[in-house]
Structure 1
Amino acid sequence: MKKLTKWFFTSILALGLLSACGSDETDGSSTTDGDQGGSGSSDEVVTLNMFQFKVEIADQLLEMLQEFHEEHPNIRVQLETVGGGADYSAALKAKFASGEQPDIFNNGGFTELGLWKEHLADLSDEPWVEHLLPIGAVPMTDTDGKLYGMPVNLEGYGFIYNKDLFAEAGITEEPTTYSELLAAVQKLEENDITAFSAGYAEWWVIGQHLLNIPFAEQDDPAAFIDALSEGTETMANNQKFIDFQRLVDLEIEYGNSNPLTTDYNSQVTYFATGETAIIQQGNWIENMIYELNPEMNMGILPISLDDNGDARLPIGVPNNWAVNKNSPHIEEAKLLLDWMVSSETGQRYMTEEFAFIPAFDHIEPTGLGALGEVILEYSSDDQTLPWNWFRWPDGANQDFAAIIQEYVAGQIDYDTVLERMDSTWQNLK
């Protein structure tokens, strides 16, 4: 399995998140021994402020931090989670603008690394780095060769589907092409089953994850993105982006009512309770689904734009833990990050409680659920697509989402969608 994990990480070179983004604030009392964490006197209490976006693991993360506190009683960790439907990036900027800078926070790498580099501590010499393979593939490695963040985990997404509802509709084979998907959703409709759980109220669902597909299916996604910025390529004249229209139309035609007002929690609830058969999300929703429906029998399908048979899943590093270089408790923050991936307790939480696929060769990917297992299978077969939104101009993903929402609302036609997305790219590049 260690060999597989190494291969898995190597196979996703240059990948960049977001998993899901409500807001939740918790105090995970977690503090440290001064001589262990560098805080000086053993009676000194240090408080770390941790600001993160993964609402799916907020409760489990708090529990983990409480166990950290038991081992390091002089370090207290104040945990704040902004996720679900909230804009984590805007919330983080507001934190820094108000002077409430967190000690540990998330950073996606690539473009986002450049935007925040002045605030990031160099983590190149941390003990966990030797277990991260390969360093050159990590989104937080800058052109100076230094590492500015620790990957949270590895994730994949696609069309998660309810196997029991598929069977009820007589669908016996997994659809891996657009035409096969169309035939499947038509069968679902014939059996009075709503196909898609469409959460188009969330900018990141449509303007980031879904829109990544036509980028990822380019022959060379990074080169295409560079060409967009140079003005030698456009989305309006690219076949992948032209084909993207029918994918959006399919979700809307065969999806839940009121998709533009369906937020993340509603989208997941519709799917988990069996009201819909398919949801565009990733393995980060697995715990949420099992909490709502412990008997859920599910799998995950690729999101295909055409019928070329090249079925692949987008798999990557969703985000990274970064340390504020101006924090008065840098050593304690570094200690916590190392403990999260090096201690037996931290590793147990990562694999068993968070159901994460580790980005480290010394953590066995045990305890994965059905979705995680499928993602590993696609990876072992080299059927992966890159995550590209961390390479987009800052703010473009939310603008893209607003444009797609206008199209779904019938306010603009699809030609206008592509023209405006091209214009957005040029304005923000």
Structure 2
Amino acid sequence: MVFALSAVLAGCGGNGGAKTGNAGGTDTANTGGRGGSGGDKLSGKVTFLTNRTDMIGKEYDEYVKRFNEKYPDIKIEFEASQTDYNQQAKVRMASGELPDLMFVPDIPNSDLPKYFAPLDDIQFSSELTFKDFKSYEGKLYGITTGNSTSGIVYNKKVFADAGITETPKTWDEFLAACEKIKQNGVIPLASNFKDKWPLGNWVFDMPRIIENNKGFPNERINMDAPFSMDNGYGKAMMLLKTLADKGYLEKDINSTNWEQSKKDIASGKMGMYFLGNWVINQVIGVGAESDNIGFFPLPYDNSGELRAALSPDFFYAVNKNSKNLEATKTFLKWMIEESGYEDFAGFISPLKGRESKLTQLAEFQATGVELQEGEPDDPKVIEISNKAQIDLPAIAQEFVLAKDPQTVLDKWNKAWAKAKKDLGY
């Protein structure tokens, strides 16, 4: 049974934002929304299943007020996912009870047309990023909510109090900074180890960055033993294990609290996160001064070269069987073009060329870091991973806690090889 919290928001007033033009002068049922004049003729109810429970009753209220200034007869209802979003979405897909607007769960791109409507008919003010990630047979089914790069989000006062005057450029410098912070009575890095999902950057982004190969995760299709101490996966997990073994993570890594950790970073009880830039505004939102929060690339080795992953976040998708398809596409277009969600969430805009308002991103880029774009997951790799029950953050947990981490890699290499063989790859 799926439990969801719903908040129905409607209203008018506020700033309508920039105008979006009529897409080629065609009927809005095909364009995903008029802009400017005629918007008030659109009507219907749009339900949106969101993972941002923290925005319901707050920022989403303001969004709907501004949206309803332009489209007063479209009613927006937010359903907040109270459980694992990916799993909840799959349950609803299986039951045929999809909302109008949602995020694409972890499914093969070949399944996208079964559930979602093509979005190519929506015209935006500039080109979309990552258009090929959720496309199938030349049609677009998912639009990124925003893009993220991973790095060290840090409390500047914690650094200053520990005598750290420059952000680390090498792994040894990073470890030295952690030691200074620890000696000053502050937890150096909040990992939220127990929650598992915050470990994602260590195992999804860092392996391809270490390998300097954006296609590295997909190259597993040609490997019977993809997890090695000598490749990106083993090296990335060893970075995390080193931090744990040296006592640079939470005192009890099996008892962490995500919401509390944001407050602890803001107050200076903890020094750093290794997460995407999306978390910056969340830390500021719980009390940190913006100019006290910084952002720099994680130096994963001692070469002095800095690389970081550029990746899309969740992808918006529209239920192909929505009774309010036109209204839903209109709201989706407004969310991308006018809501300002990417700035609130700390993302890089889905639209190419739109500059971020986050000063922390400017600091990050000033280091000369090379941003490496990812590429879509190979469906065969997804299939093998699912059959082998590969859960990379969970594997990282096992690896860090193991006395002999090689045995963990051996275990999952065996599972991978069997699944690969069983599937005939």
Interval containing the TM-score (normalised by the shorter chain): 0.7 to 0.9
Deviation at 1:276, TM superposition (A): 0.8
Identity %: 23
Return the match for 1:420 from 411, 414, 425.
411
Structure 1 counterpart of 2:102, one-letter code: F
Structure 1 counterpart of 2:287, one-letter code: N
Is the contact between residue 229 and residue 235 of structure 2 (CA under 8 Å) also seen in structure 1? no
1:322 and 2:317 aligned: yes
Is the contact between residue 176 and residue 304 of structure 1 (CA under 8 Å) also seen in structure 2? yes
Q: 2-side partners of 1:219 and 1:226: how far apart?
A: 13
1:100 and 2:81 aligned: no
How many aligned residue pairs are there? 386
Deviation at 1:240, TM superposition (A): 2.8
Q: 2-side partners of 1:338 and 1:245: how far apart?
A: 39
Is the contact between residue 52 and residue 106 of structure 1 (CA under 8 Å) also seen in structure 2? yes
The Cα offsets for residues 194-216 of structure 1, whole Å up to 9 and x where unpaired, read as: 2111201222211x221120133
5+ residue gaps in structure 1? 1-21
Structure 2 partner of 1:385: 372
Is the contact between residue 188 and residue 194 of structure 1 (CA under 8 Å) also seen in structure 2? yes
Structure 1 partner of 2:16: none
Structure 2 counterpart of 1:27, one-letter code: V
5+ residue gaps in structure 2? 13-26, 34-39, 421-425
Deviation at 1:325, TM superposition (A): 0.9
Is the contact between residue 399 and residue 424 of structure 1 (CA under 8 Å) also seen in structure 2? no
The Cα offsets for residues 228-273 of structure 1, whole Å up to 9 and x where unpaired, read as: 2222662225333332343112332212222222132133222122
Deviation at 1:323, TM superposition (A): 0.7
Deviation at 1:108, TM superposition (A): 6.5
Structure 2 partner of 1:261: 255
Q: 2-side partners of 1:271 and 1:302: how far apart?
A: 18
Is the contact between residue 266 and residue 288 of structure 2 (CA under 8 Å) also seen in structure 1? no
1:372 and 2:369 aligned: no
Structure 1 partner of 2:286: 292
The Cα offsets for residues 35-74 of structure 1, whole Å up to 9 and x where unpaired, read as: 97799xx999622111122446553234202332343222
Structure 2 counterpart of 1:87, one-letter code: D
Q: 2-side partners of 1:389 and 1:36: how far apart?
A: 30
1:28-427 pair list within 5 angstroms: 28-29=9-10, 46-55=44-53, 57-58=55-56, 59-82=58-81, 86-107=83-104, 112-128=108-124, 131-133=126-128, 138-142=132-136, 144-206=137-199, 208-212=200-204, 213-222=206-215, 224-231=216-223, 234-236=226-228, 238-252=230-244, 253-295=247-289, 297-342=292-337, 346-347=338-339, 349-350=340-341, 353-361=344-352, 364-365=354-355, 368-377=357-366, 381=368, 383-387=370-374, 390=377, 393=382, 395=386, 399-410=391-402, 413-426=404-417
CA 1:134–1:276: 2 relative to 1, 3 Å:
closer
Greater helix share, 1 or 2? 1
Question: TM-score scaled by structure 2?
Answer: 0.79
Aligned-residue CA RMSD in angstroms? 3.3
SS where residue 131 of structure 1 aligns?
A: coil
The Cα offsets for residues 113-165 of structure 1, whole Å up to 9 and x where unpaired, read as: 3443421211112111x612567x542233x2221122211222212111111
**Larger RCO: 1 or 2 (CA < 8 Å, sep 6+):** 1
CA 1:350–1:313: 2 relative to 1, 3 Å:
same
CA 1:189–1:44: 2 relative to 1, 3 Å:
closer
